[in-house]
Amino acid sequence: SVEASIPEPQREAWTKHEFSGFKNKDDFEREVVRHVETTLARSIYNCDESAAYSASSLAFRDRLIKDWNKTQQRQTFTDSKRVYYLSLEFLMGRAFDNAMLNLGAKEVAKEGLAELGFRIEDIIGQEHDAALGNGGLGRLAACFLDSLATLNYPAWGYGLRYRYGIFKQEIIDGYQVEVPDYWLDFNPWEFPRHDVTVEIQFYGHVDKRQDENGKTIAKWEGGEMVTAVAYDVPTPGYDTPSTNNLRLWSSKAASGEFDFQKFNSGDYESSVADQQRAETISAVLYPNDNLDRGKELRLKQQYFWVAASLYDIVRRFKKSKRKWNEFPDQVAIQLNDTHPTLAIVELQRILVDVEGLEWDEAWQIVTSTFGYTNHTVLPEALEKWPVGLVQHLLPRHLQIIYDINLFFLQSVEKRYPNDRDLLRRVSIIEESQPKMVRMAYLAVVGSHKVNGVAELHSDLIQTTIFRDFVAIFGEDKFTNVTNGITPRRWLHQANPRLSELIASKADGYEFLKDLTLLNKLELFIDDKEFRKEWAEIKYANKVRLARYIKSTLGINVNPAALFDVQVKRIHEYKRQQLNIFGVIHRYLTLKAMSPEERKMQQPRVSIFGGKAAPGYWMAKQIIHLINNVGALVNKDPDIGDLLKVIFLEDYNVSKAEIITPASDLSEHISTAGTEASGTSNMKFVLNGGLIIGTCDGANIEITREIGQENIFLFGTLSEDVEDLRHVHTYGEHPIDPNLAKVFDAIERGMFGEPNDFKAMISAVRDHGDYYLVSDDFQSYIDTQKMVDEEYQNQEEWISKCIRSVARMGFFSSDRCINEYAEGIWNIEPLAV
Ligand code: F58
């Protein structure tokens, strides 16, 4: 047992005084008061909500770390295989509510806080989101951590501890303005490990020599050192003591780097500058989604994080005193997109240069260790780095990349002699001006499994960007793992009343651990009382969102109207422009009606939210147009409650928890073939909303699961997209007549200065309509019309919602993690 490892003379003292956290309301209150008085040095007289939040979360943190310790000890003791999830982004959102629910202690905390004079909702509202991610990819990593712990898998996440997460969005005069998100003022959820550090090297040169046996030895020398410091964030599972670790690295000047010489001679500025340069590495999250911009600092971030994580993983492995060839039996590493691809090169470097293994043996270990998940086929998002930049920053790594490429191309040449074009196509080095390292190819070559994130997407990568690699490595290397979401946060936490209602029909809360149990709801679809409660909960969630809209924007929306929501990053491929053009079309149609006709129409609130990358001008214009449309429509007396257009500022995880349960309809309308999966589509359906969407990403599997009668699909199919684009470029393509009317209204200045929206219109009319907005417009508005009609029949609508929820079991991130564990990582759960 773990305890037996404590030496006999000390065992009693250690075990007797073991901290066990709070067990009941009284204990909890005592812990809160203790933290208020000692950790925060305050008292009842100046304990405001912020202090109460700090103290309560510290009380929970203490409990988490207890379970964390147990989990880690057990993993070390059983020497079990672990998976390491490498992700540059973890979009965690708030931790307090989640910790309370996962530990099953929310009631205790609620009552305790009430006795201390606080409402738990107000305390939860004090927490700043941990927003270390851009969108879907980062949130997926967070859902995975929740599932890994819940399912008792031995797993660690590795990421960067950005001082600034994704920027805060303000809307000023209808435009997005970015404000820095400094979130670390007070963060009770992390444990700084000032003793866990790694020295990371950059720049310098490589010295190649022969040793006494004639073997070439490469030495990477000189350059600059930066220190990585570990910060640990315990991540609890639901209804299990299993608590995994998320280790985030922070950069600081290497010890000795702070130049005392300069400091003593009075050159404070340059000695401080060195320090700041080191700290810059982990300072900010790059705010682009689905766009790769080759900035040196970004490459520095990647190597810094990858090198620190691998050092840590290898250090842990070496403690076990096993042979190197057992490494893949102990360690699985998953690359969340290509951002950590340098890990492949770094592990090869450690094994060959530092540990002295032969190249082939090392490469065998490396390729058995890594798995790579692809999240996009958009060409502009595929990572490439200029060879010159890699050479400068990581000279040894570039040599290794060239060797990996050489051996790979030799093996291809052997199987396909004289196919020079194939070699050019699959080379890790693109022979362009300047030459580029293709990170996705490196990731494919260096991993044993490559997966896409939804069926359509996995098929597409195998037939487009990785087609040649499928031929070379065989189909078995490529697989699909459809994304999922954690029902703990996205149902139980975001929609507690619905979760409770479901529990009352599904024999308790077991469905939160086995989401397929939702199918028990099918039995109650016709149960009058149940349907009534269901409808009441949806209405209450809409009232909550309406209040939020009122308090932030001062606009009254009618909770009885159909709430139509599109919240996600703003991007042309996600087609918020199609949505807002549709809204304008609706407005023009309503305006043209007589008052009697208008009375027959279904009232609607169109709700948008999402951030545009700061450098993405077109996305910012889309936000501007949405706001200008809202400004006109929302105060038009002819229209009243028939149509409201809302842009919610600063969409993030905690706001998603309010918005998602309040939708009747949500929009997932990307051009077919562009959205790898989407995950908010799953969240909305799980919360009893229907969706309007294209045949893209996970929408297709959602349709398969819930039935096509329960989803509003429209638009071009992915297999027809390329042909249409071809026609746009080389043939005639008249604009859809209804869309032409919308453009006309914009150009007449109905929504402000028409010049502002010229580029948006031109993209469709004059520049080939790459995203097929005009092609899909008529089917989009026809489908929206069907939505209006079907919504009028509330009984039928509610049936569809319930039936959909009942069939959503497949989309739990637990199912998804089990697939990775079995098909890619080969790891087993380890109960604590
Ligand atoms: C998203 N990618 C996909 N990338 O767009 C979405 O379809 C999918 O559901 C999700 O991943 C999870 O698989 C995404 O969010 C980014 O934000 C990257 C950030 C770093 C730069 C490149 C894009």
Sorted by sequence, the CB contacts under 8 Å of residue 109 that are 6+ apart come out as 28, 56, 60, 100, 120
- C-alpha 312 to ligand 1 mean position (Å): 27
Average pLDDT over residues 457-486: 98
Q: At 703, is the secondary structure helix, strand, or coil?
A: helix
Clarify whether residues 419 and 493 are in a common domain: no
Q: What confidence score (pLDDT) does residue 259 get?
A: 62
- Whole-angstrom distance, CA of residue 442 vs CA of residue 342: 9
The residue whose CB lies within 8 Å of the most ligand 1 atoms, and thus the one to mutate among 86, 289, 820, is 289
State the residue range of the domain holding 430. Answer: 79-94+129-482+819-825
- C-alpha 377 to ligand 1 mean position (Å): 10
Into how many domains does the chain fold? 3
Does 10 reside within a domain?
no
For 675-721, the pLDDT digits (tens) are 999 999 999 999 999 999 999 999 999 999 999 999 999 999 999 99
**Residue of 74, 488, 569, 624 marked catalytic:** 569
Residue 683 known to be catalytic: yes
Torsion angle of alpha carbons 551, 554, 559, 560, nearest 10°?
A: 170
Q: What confidence score (pLDDT) does residue 292 get?
A: 76
Residue 589: pLDDT over 80? yes
C-beta of 288 in contact with ligand 1 (< 6 A)? yes
- Whole-angstrom distance, CA of residue 210 vs CA of residue 354: 15
- Whole-angstrom distance, CA of residue 732 vs CA of residue 730: 7
C-beta of 93 in contact with ligand 1 (< 6 A)? no
Using CB atoms within 10 Å of the CB of residue 276, give its burial: 0 to 12 exposed, 13 to 18 middle, 19+ buried: exposed
- Whole-angstrom distance, CA of residue 608 vs CA of residue 564: 9
- C-alpha 135 to ligand 1 mean position (Å): 6
Q: What confidence score (pLDDT) does residue 274 get?
A: 82
- Report if pTM > 0.95: yes
Q: What residues form DSSP beta bridges with 168?
A: 179
Residue 256: pLDDT over 70? no
For the chain, what is the radius of gyration of the CA atoms?
28
Clarify whether residues 551 and 462 are in a common domain: no
Atom of ligand 1 nearest to the CA of 383: 22
**Residue of 197, 369, 373, 679 marked catalytic:** 679
The residue whose CB lies within 8 Å of the most ligand 1 atoms, and thus the one to mutate among 85, 166, 285, 376, is 376
Residue 257: which pLDDT band, with cuts at 50, 70 and 90? low
Clarify whether residues 737 and 703 are in a common domain: yes
Q: What confidence score (pLDDT) does residue 468 get?
A: 98
- C-alpha 291 to ligand 1 mean position (Å): 10
Does 525 reside within a domain?
yes
C-beta of 676 in contact with ligand 1 (< 6 A)? yes
Side-chain-side CA neighbours of 395 within 13 Å: the count stands at 16
Q: What confidence score (pLDDT) does residue 504 get?
A: 98
192 membership: H or E segment, kind and range: strand 191-202
C-beta of 677 in contact with ligand 1 (< 6 A)? yes
Clarify whether residues 49 and 155 are in a common domain: no
Residue 128: which pLDDT band, with cuts at 50, 70 and 90? very high
Residue 267: which pLDDT band, with cuts at 50, 70 and 90? confident
CA–CA distance from 135 to each of 145, 163, 665, 670, 672 (Å)? Answer: 16, 18, 21, 15, 19
Looking at 376-385, 446-455, 607-616, which range is the least confident one?
376-385
Angle at 828 between CA 823 and CA 829, to 5 degrees: 125
**ipTM of this complex > 0.90?**
yes
C-beta of 678 in contact with ligand 1 (< 6 A)? yes
Looking at 7-16, 154-163, 380-389, 648-657, which range is the least confident one?
7-16
How far is C-alpha 527 from the chain's CA centre?
38
For 741-778, the pLDDT digits (tens) are 999 999 999 999 999 999 999 999 999 999 999 999 99
Identify residue 34 by its one-letter amino acid code: R
Average pLDDT over residues 450-467: 98
Angle at 150 between CA 144 and CA 156, to 5 degrees: 55
Residue 528 known to be catalytic: no
Q: In this structure, which residue's CA is closest to atom 17 in ligand 1?
A: 289
Atom of ligand 1 nearest to the CA of 134: 17
For 540-584, the pLDDT digits (tens) are 999 999 999 999 999 999 999 999 999 999 999 999 999 999 999
Atom of ligand 1 nearest to the CA of 678: 9
- C-alpha 569 to ligand 1 mean position (Å): 10
Residue 301: pLDDT over 70? yes
C-beta of 696 in contact with ligand 1 (< 6 A)? no
8 Å CB contact between 110 and 361: no
Q: What residues form DSSP beta bridges with 554?
A: none
Q: What confidence score (pLDDT) does residue 268 get?
A: 77
Clarify whether residues 419 and 542 are in a common domain: no
- Whole-angstrom distance, CA of residue 817 vs CA of residue 25: 35
Residue 4: pLDDT over 80? no
Does 111 reside within a domain?
yes
Q: What confidence score (pLDDT) does residue 32 get?
A: 97
104 Ramachandran zone, left/alpha/beta (phi>0; psi -120 to 50): left
b/e sequence 571-600, b meaning 16+ C-beta within 10 Å = bbbbbbbbbbbbbbbbbebbeeeeeeebee
CA–CA distance from 556 to each of 136, 485, 540, 550, 624 (Å)? Answer: 31, 32, 16, 6, 21
Pairing relation of β-strands 370-373 and 331-336? Answer: parallel
C-beta of 375 in contact with ligand 1 (< 6 A)? yes
Q: What confidence score (pLDDT) does residue 270 get?
A: 77
**Residue of 94, 349, 375, 586 marked catalytic:** 375
- Whole-angstrom distance, CA of residue 783 vs CA of residue 763: 24
Clarify whether residues 37 and 162 are in a common domain: no
Clarify whether residues 101 and 162 are in a common domain: no
C-beta of 134 in contact with ligand 1 (< 6 A)? yes
Q: What confidence score (pLDDT) does residue 263 get?
A: 67
Q: At 683, is the secondary structure helix, strand, or coil?
A: helix
- Whole-angstrom distance, CA of residue 510 vs CA of residue 517: 8
- Whole-angstrom distance, CA of residue 663 vs CA of residue 270: 55
Q: What residues form DSSP beta bridges with 245?
A: 156, 234
Comparing C-alpha atoms, which of 693, 481, 686, 482 is closest to residue 568? 693
Task: Supply the CATH number for residue 159's domain.
Answer: 3.40.50.2000
How far is C-alpha 16 from the chain's CA centre?
42
Clarify whether residues 200 and 217 are in a common domain: yes
Does 1 reside within a domain?
no
Q: At 756, is the secondary structure helix, strand, or coil?
A: helix
- Whole-angstrom distance, CA of residue 95 vs CA of residue 101: 10
Residue 574 known to be catalytic: yes
C-beta of 698 in contact with ligand 1 (< 6 A)? no
- C-alpha 319 to ligand 1 mean position (Å): 36
Instruction: Provide the 10 A C-beta neighbour count for residue 283.
Output: 15
Using CB atoms within 10 Å of the CB of residue 461, give its burial: 0 to 12 exposed, 13 to 18 middle, 19+ buried: buried
- Whole-angstrom distance, CA of residue 511 vs CA of residue 531: 19
b/e sequence 785-824, b meaning 16+ C-beta within 10 Å = eebeebbeeeeebbbbbbbbbbbbbbbbbbbbbbbbbeeb
Clarify whether residues 537 and 558 are in a common domain: yes
Q: What is the mean pLDDT of the chain?
A: 96
Residue 271: pLDDT over 90? no
Q: What confidence score (pLDDT) does residue 5 get?
A: 74
- Whole-angstrom distance, CA of residue 518 vs CA of residue 802: 10
8 Å CB contact between 754 and 746: yes
Does 6 reside within a domain?
no
Comparing C-alpha atoms, which of 19, 148, 1 is closest to residue 85? 148
Clarify whether residues 112 and 182 are in a common domain: no
Could you tell me how many residues make up the chain? 832
Average pLDDT over residues 428-452: 98
Instruction: Read off φ and ψ for residue 311, nearest 5 degrees.
Output: -55, -45
For 743-752, the pLDDT digits (tens) are 999 999 999 9
Residue 679 known to be catalytic: yes
666 membership: H or E segment, kind and range: strand 665-668
- Whole-angstrom distance, CA of residue 162 vs CA of residue 201: 20
8 Å CB contact between 678 and 699: yes
Pairing relation of β-strands 90-93 and 130-132? Answer: antiparallel
Average pLDDT over residues 24-42: 96
Q: At 585, is the secondary structure helix, strand, or coil?
A: helix
Q: At 170, is the secondary structure helix, strand, or coil?
A: strand
For 343-359, the pLDDT digits (tens) are 999 999 999 999 999 99
Average pLDDT over residues 27-54: 95
Comparing C-alpha atoms, which of 413, 422, 309, 412 is closest to residue 370? 309
Residue 261: which pLDDT band, with cuts at 50, 70 and 90? low
C-beta of 644 in contact with ligand 1 (< 6 A)? no
The residue whose CB lies within 8 Å of the most ligand 1 atoms, and thus the one to mutate among 139, 284, 290, is 290
For 204-216, the pLDDT digits (tens) are 999 999 988 888 8
Q: What confidence score (pLDDT) does residue 732 get?
A: 84
C-beta of 347 in contact with ligand 1 (< 6 A)? no
> Longest Cα pair distance anywhere in the chain, in angstroms?
96
Residue 258: pLDDT over 60? no
Does 9 reside within a domain?
no
Comparing C-alpha atoms, which of 767, 762, 738 is closest to residue 584? 738
Instruction: Read off φ and ψ for residue 692, nearest 5 degrees.
Output: -110, 130
Clarify whether residues 313 and 357 are in a common domain: yes
Comparing C-alpha atoms, which of 286, 314, 289, 312 is closest to residue 298? 286
Residue 144: pLDDT over 80? yes
First to last CA, the chain: 12
**Residue of 81, 300, 585, 683 marked catalytic:** 683
- Whole-angstrom distance, CA of residue 634 vs CA of residue 662: 20
Sorted by sequence, the CB contacts under 8 Å of residue 303 that are 6+ apart come out as 200, 202, 342, 346, 393, 394, 397
Residue 17 known to be catalytic: no
Average pLDDT over residues 224-250: 97
Average pLDDT over residues 311-331: 97
* Residue with the larger pLDDT of the pair 789 and 10: 789
- C-alpha 618 to ligand 1 mean position (Å): 19
Q: Which two tokens stand for residue 85?
A: 């999830």
Angle at 648 between CA 645 and CA 652, to 5 degrees: 150
Q: In this structure, which residue's CA is closest to atom 20 in ligand 1?
A: 289
Instruction: Provide the 10 A C-beta neighbour count for residue 357.
Output: 18
- Whole-angstrom distance, CA of residue 456 vs CA of residue 677: 8
Does 24 reside within a domain?
yes
Q: What confidence score (pLDDT) does residue 44 get?
A: 87
Average pLDDT over residues 779-806: 98
Clarify whether residues 214 and 276 are in a common domain: yes
